[in-house]
Structure 1
Amino acid sequence: MLRLESLTKRFGAKAAVDNVSIEVSKPMMIGIIGRSGAGKSTLLRVLNRLAEATEGTAEFEGRDILGLRGREMRAWQSDCAMIFQQFNLVPRMDVVSNVLHGTLARRSTLATVMNLYPQSDIHMAIDILDRLGIAEQAPKRAEALSGGQQQRVAIARALMQDPKIILADEPIASLDPMNAQVVMESLRRIHDEDGRMVICNLHTLDTARRYCDRVIGMRDGRVVFDGTPEQLTTGVARDIYGADASFSEAATSTEIETLNAPQAVPVTA
């Protein structure tokens, strides 16, 4: 389905994504882990065409996604929905209207300016919110919701695009453990029930192991690990994060049970 070959993105002399080759043959939930600056976000932005690759190729279902322009590129961005760490909602707009923004790519300019939506789209938006457990928030302003609720609104907006791939860039980085768990369970359920590919940038090992079918580790723009959650040992994690022997997984945890346990030695990376 998805094939990246020697994909590279440079900013000046620095390669933020450096010669990355990945092949995904079927819909999976994939976690990309690594410390800040490893190239995780840049990789997703290149896939979504929010940033242009410097070298290499990227194909989805045999289509060259890096060569798309104009309408074809916008259609790809509908097929490849993006969820951001900071939600990117319109704070003073009601929740259901934020979700309906997921249809903008297929609406006319006049309909967009007049803020006109078909009843079928409105019903679909509410159904998606209900699926994510927040239908009762539909008439409220987005700014009135908690962080976890806002992220679920962002997921609902992505689902309104009916995408083939969902790219989630640090979707739980600014959330407390309880809300982080709800958001990750929502993304996992979307993969399981809809058969959509989900690629999720994460900071925490326990989250990657619990929710993902495959884990990719990046360091300095390169892929240094690509395997199953079971293969993600503490030793492998040290290499991904560039940490020494004092590395502690507990210090990177978002699991409530782990956080309630006695504190371990903090991460030095």
Structure 2
Amino acid sequence: MLQIDGLTKRFGGNAAVDNVSLRVDEACMIGVIGRSGAGKSTLLRMLNRLTDSTEGRIVFEGQDVTALNGAAKRRWQSDCAMIFQQFNLVPRMDVVSNVLHGTLNRRSTLATMFNLFPKEDIRRAIDILDRLGIAEQAPKRAEALSGGQQQRVAIARALMQDPRIILADEPIASLDPMNAQIVMQALRRIHEEDGRTVICNLHTLDTARRYCDRVIGMRAGRVVFDGTPELLTTDMAREIYGADETFSEEATSTEIETLDGREGREALATL
């Protein structure tokens, strides 16, 4: 289904991603973990063709994605939707219009200029928002929503593209623990119910273990772990993060149960 062969990205003399090879044979949910600067975001940006690789190939169902240009490249970017940490919504635009922007790649320039959307697309956008539990927010400006709600709008926009693959770059990094769980549950349901592959960059080990079928660990641009969540031991985590015996997974936990009463109330207040 998806094959990555020797993918490398250099910035000057530094390799942000260094000779990465991976194969995904069936739809699954993959978590990519590693410390900041490990190459996780660069890897996803190359998969989406937001960044060109220096060496290597990305092949999806026999098509060389790294060779695509123009309209073919844009079609790939629709098939391989990207969700960002900072949401990338238009703050003063209403929620449903933000979601409808997921159709821009297949609309005419004139329709885009005048913000004209077919009724069936509007109905579909509202249905997707309803699926994500935020249909009542459709007429509101995006800037009026909480962070967790805005990230679900970003997920809805990605779903409007009807992608084969969803890439999520640190989708919960700026969210409180409760909203983080809501967003991760939404991504997991999309994988299970739609049969879409979801590749998600994550900082926290408990999140990767809880929601992902497969975990890839990166360090200094290279893949140093590729296996099931059960194989992600504390010793292996130390290797991925380059940490010593003082490394504690609790410091990166997003589990609501680890919060004390005060923090729990603050998390709930932001929903």
TM-score, normalising length from structure 1? 0.96
TM-score, normalising length from structure 2? 0.96
Displacement of 1:257: 1.2
Matched positions, count: 261
Q: Does 1:158 align with 2:141?
A: no
Task: Give deviations 1:192-233, integer Å, cap 9, x for gaps.
Answer: 000000000000000000000000000000000000000000
Task: Give deviations 1:51-87, integer Å, cap 9, x for gaps.
Answer: 0000011101111000000000000000000000000
Identity of aligned residues (%): 80
User: d(CA) in 1 for partners of 2:173 and 2:192?
Assistant: 23
Moved over 3 A (4+): none
User: d(CA) in 2 for partners of 1:57 and 1:113?
Assistant: 36
SS at match of 2:30: strand
CA RMSD of aligned residues (A): 0.8
Which residue of structure 2 lines up, in the alignment, with residue 176 of structure 1? 176
8 Å CA contact 1:90–1:142 kept in 2: the answer is: yes
* Structure 2 runs not aligned, ≥5 long: 262-271
Displacement of 1:5: 0.7
Q: Does 1:207 align with 2:207?
A: yes
User: d(CA) in 2 for partners of 1:79 and 1:164?
Assistant: 5
Displacement of 1:131: 0.1
Report the residue type matching 2:257 in the other structure.
E
Which residue of structure 2 lines up, in the alignment, with residue 112 of structure 1? 112
Report the residue type matching 2:124 in the other structure.
M
1:173-252 counterparts in 2 under 5 A? 173-252=173-252
User: d(CA) in 2 for partners of 1:48 and 1:101?
Assistant: 17
Which residue of structure 1 lines up, in the alignment, with residue 37 of structure 2? 37
Which residue of structure 2 lines up, in the alignment, with residue 47 of structure 1? 47
8 Å CA contact 1:253–1:259 kept in 2: the answer is: no
Task: Give deviations 1:156-188, integer Å, cap 9, x for gaps.
Answer: 000000000000000000000000000000000
Which residue of structure 2 lines up, in the alignment, with residue 70 of structure 1? 70
Displacement of 1:38: 0.2
Which residue of structure 2 lines up, in the alignment, with residue 9 of structure 1? 9
User: d(CA) in 2 for partners of 1:259 and 1:221?
Assistant: 33
User: d(CA) in 2 for partners of 1:202 and 1:231?
Assistant: 17
1:140-151 counterparts in 2 under 5 A? 140-151=140-151
SS at match of 2:58: strand
User: d(CA) in 1 for partners of 2:259 and 2:74?
Assistant: 42
8 Å CA contact 1:9–1:16 kept in 2: the answer is: yes
User: d(CA) in 2 for partners of 1:42 and 1:5?
Assistant: 15
* Structure 1 runs not aligned, ≥5 long: 262-269
User: d(CA) in 2 for partners of 1:106 and 1:260?
Assistant: 48
User: d(CA) in 2 for partners of 1:6 and 1:41?
Assistant: 17
